[in-house]
Structure formats: structure tokens, C-alpha cells
Structure 1
Amino acid sequence: MIEHIALGIAKLERARNLKVMMDNGEVTFAGNRNLKIFGGLKCDSGKRMKVKNRVFFRNKEEALSLGYRPCGHCLKSEYILWKKNRED
């Protein structure tokens, strides 16, 4: 897990570092540290969160292993499965 705030002090520096990581495939999902939710990098819900709460993951397995749940908007089918397994 990589914290967004750890990618740099300035907004532009964070954006550049994140772009490099995305281009290299080091980051494929983003999450909200407080809500323990993760989703795709282009999810509208994720784009609205505060930088201090945003974290990044290499893959779904990493996010799930750290106790994050799939986003109900951009990962709807995974969310439904997660919710069903939780109720059983």
C-alpha cells in the first residue's frame, strides 16, 4: 500500500510521481484509508476523496488482504460478491 501524501509535498510532484507509477503498472487501484474501500483509478467516487485519505494498491489482492472492500460503484460485481460472502 502506498499513501498518496507520501508521493510528494506539492500537488504537482504527487501527480507526476503517481503518473510514473501508473505507467509502470505499480499502481492499479486506489482506496480510502478511513472507509477501507478500494476501486479503480478512474472511479468518480475515488476522485473526490481527500489526498490524506487516499492510498494506492498494486492489485485487488493487496487491497483485499489489507481489509479493504470493493467499491460499490466501479467494482459493482466484486462488491456484490464481497457483500454476499460477508452475510453467509
Structure 2
Amino acid sequence: MIRQIDAGVDEASQKKQLRKLIRQGTIQYAGYIPGKIYGRLSCSSGKRMKAKNRIFFSNEEEAILAGYRPCGHCLKERYKMWKLTHSK
């Protein structure tokens, strides 16, 4: 996992490094640190977050092991299953 702010010294270099990792297939999912939510890179909800709140994962297993839950927008079915197993 890699935080966006750790990918470079400024936002331009961070984006360049992250694009490279995405093209290589190293990064497949993005997460929202404060809410501990992960989702697809194409998710419109994820694209609105601030760089300091963004983290990237190589796969879903890595996100889940880090304690993140599926996004209710781009991973609806996985979120429904998560909600069923984590409801109080």
C-alpha cells in the first residue's frame, strides 16, 4: 500500500509516479484513509478526495487486511456482503 503523499515531493510528481504504478498493474484499488473505504480507481467518489486522504492498494486482499471496507458506490455487491457480516 502507498499513500499518495508518499509517492512524490509535489502533487505533479505524485500523480506521475502513481500513473506509472497503475500502468504496471502494481496499483488496482484506491482507498479513503479517514473512512477506511476502498474502491476501484475509476470510482467517482474516490476521485473527489484530497491527496492527503488517498491510499492505494495492489489488490482487494491488501485493502481488507489493512481494515478497509468496500465502497458502496463502485463495489455495491461486495459492500452489501460486507454490511451483512458487519452489522450490529
Output the TM-score relative to the length of structure 1: 0.96
**Could you tell me how far 1:86 is from its partner in structure 2?**
1.0
Establish whether residue 76 from structure 1 lines up as the match of residue 76 from structure 2.
Answer: yes
For residue 2 of structure 1, what is the aligned residue in structure 2? 2
2:27 alignment partner, SS class: coil
Secondary structure of the 1:56 match is strand
**3-state DSSP of counterpart to 2:34:** coil
What residue is the counterpart of 1:47 in the other structure? 47
- How many equivalent pairs are there? 88
Which residue pairs with 1:30 in the alignment?
Answer: 30
The alpha carbon displacement at 1:15 in A equals 1.1
Q: Secondary structure, in 3 states, of the residue corresponding to 1:61?
A: helix
Rounded to whole Å, the distance in 2 between the matches of 1:36 and 1:10 is 24
| Aligned structure 1 segments of 4 or more residues deviating by more than 4 angstroms | none
Report SS of the residue matched to 2:39.
Answer: strand
Structure 1 residue 67, shift from structure 2 partner: 0.6
Structure 1 residue 12, shift from structure 2 partner: 1.5
What is the TM-score of this pair, normalised by structure 2? 0.96
Q: Which amino acid aligns with 1:2?
A: I
Structure 1 position 62 matched with structure 2 position 62: yes
CA distance in 1, matches of 2:69, 2:12: 29
Residue range with higher mean Cα deviation, 5-14 or 71-80: 5-14
CA RMSD of aligned residues (A): 1.0
Tell me by how many angstroms 1:32 deviates: 0.7
Deviation of 1:87 (Å): 2.5
Which 5+ residue runs of structure 1 have no aligned equivalent? none
Compute the displacement of 1:11 (Å). 1.8
